[in-house]
Structure 1
């Protein structure tokens, strides 16, 4: 989920914590829990700092190890004892419980969007991305925001957020059936489909979908159950060549391949170099596929330059590869 939703969920857990008699009766504990829940609800995304190193590191690690079961425990302890240093007279176990819940909820809700997480690492390194919920869902955000306003206006926070969490739970169930309806329709259209990936958009009844069959990739939009095929790509097997093997040794390409579950490739040959481009098919936007990895090789298969990340125009992509210009 996006940062704003995670923070409003943290506030919600802080309100829900008033169910705990210890939190109800201890003002300092309540303040500590509220602060801890807000920080804990965002803590796993502190891995965003990897972006300061480079995109490959960010893509490889964001929502990776930082969202694993061990990391959930470590984040909760780090946040708890950082706050406990300022509130040494409160029962730390109560504080830790609510912080742990906020961190765990962060990781849980992240698996429902198309980006996903490695929430079971190191037991399972696969990315878990269920594709039910958009990264920013205005309905979920709105429900938590309504709860916050109700609390400000004097509503009981524990009962308010019990209701909010229950409604959000029902909404998740609805979105599961929304996705199932779309995948059932697609299975009828493409009975030989080997993979179907869904990505809900900010518009409730509009979804982006990618269908893989033995011979083709189909990129489509689903609007109120109507399937509109936007692009069709022939499925070409990756060639076992020296230049392709050299490309796969590049860190940017490795990060892209590890993360992307469905992509195609292009090879362009120029006088002095070869450009190999890998294109993720999930994020089509206005006819463009912004998430790519590009590597250029000289005639001896040495990497000249490479890049991976989200780029929304060819001009910007070429600027990322400026050493060749």
Structure 2
């Protein structure tokens, strides 16, 4: 989820903690728990600072180790211990339990958007992205805002958040069923479908889909249950040749390939260099595929420039590369 949603979820969990009799009876513990749930709800996104280094490192690591099982355990203990150092008289167990829950919930909800996480590291490095909740979901965010306002106006926070989270749980079930119906329709239309990647949008009844069959990729949209195929591409394995062998070892290309499960590649020849481009097919927007990785290689098979990231125009991509 986005940062704003994680913040309001931290506040909500602090309110939900008042259902715990120990928290409810100790105002100091309540405030400590509130701090823990807000910080814990955002701690796994600490890896966002990797953007300051470069996109390749960020893409390789974002929602990776910081969303892993060891990191969840570490954040729960570290945040609780830090807060407890300032209020040593409160119950450490209850402070830790609610802070730990906040960290777990952060990772859990991130599993359901198209980006996903590597939540089962170190046991499995596979990206898990169920793709039926948008990174920013207005319904979920607005329900939290309603809950916060209701709480400010005097409502009992425990029952209030219990009701709201019951509604959100039903909403998750509804979105899962929406996705399942989309996948079923696609598999009925393309019997040889191997995989369907869904990307929900801010519009409830508008989805992006990338379909993998035995020999093709299809890119389309689903609006109000109607599937429209927009692009199709033949599946081509990455060739084994000296130029491509060098390209896939570039840090930007390697980062892209470690993350993207549905992509195509293309090669273009220019004066003095060859450009190899990898294009993620999951995020088509406004007739453009914004998530790419590009490497430029000279006649001597030396890499002269490369880039990976989100680009919404060719002009912006050219500015990121040395050769223009």
Partner Cα distance (2:146, 2:300) in 1 = 61
1:257 is aligned to 2:253 = no
Q: How many residues are aligned here?
A: 324
Q: CA deviation at 1:196?
A: 0.7
Q: TM-score, normalised by structure 2?
A: 0.98
Counterpart of 2:33 in structure 1 is 33
1:196 is aligned to 2:196 = yes
After TM superposition, the runs of 4+ consecutive aligned structure 1 residues lying more than 3 A away are none
SS of the residue 2:171 aligns to: helix
Which stretch shows the higher mean deviation, 72-81 or 102-111? 72-81
What are the superposed Cα offsets for residues 41-84 of structure 1, whole Å, 9 maximum, x if unpaired? 01100110010010001001110010001100111112112211
Residues 292-311 of structure 1: matches in 2 within 5 Å? 292-311=292-311
Q: CA deviation at 1:35?
A: 1.0
Partner Cα distance (1:249, 1:179) in 2 = 36
Which ranges in structure 2 are unaligned for 5 or more consecutive residues? Answer: none
SS of the residue 1:80 aligns to: helix
Residues 1-325 of structure 1: matches in 2 within 5 Å? 1-321=1-321, 323-325=322-324
Which stretch shows the higher mean deviation, 109-118 or 292-301? 292-301
Partner Cα distance (2:307, 2:115) in 1 = 20
SS of the residue 1:85 aligns to: helix
Partner Cα distance (1:238, 1:250) in 2 = 15
Q: TM-score, normalised by structure 1?
A: 0.98
Q: CA deviation at 1:243?
A: 0.7
Which ranges in structure 1 are unaligned for 5 or more consecutive residues? Answer: none
Partner Cα distance (2:16, 2:144) in 1 = 12
What is the root-mean-square deviation of aligned Cα atoms in Å?
0.8
Q: CA deviation at 1:271?
A: 2.5
Partner Cα distance (2:128, 2:179) in 1 = 16
SS of the residue 2:207 aligns to: strand
Q: CA deviation at 1:117?
A: 0.1
Partner Cα distance (1:50, 1:88) in 2 = 34
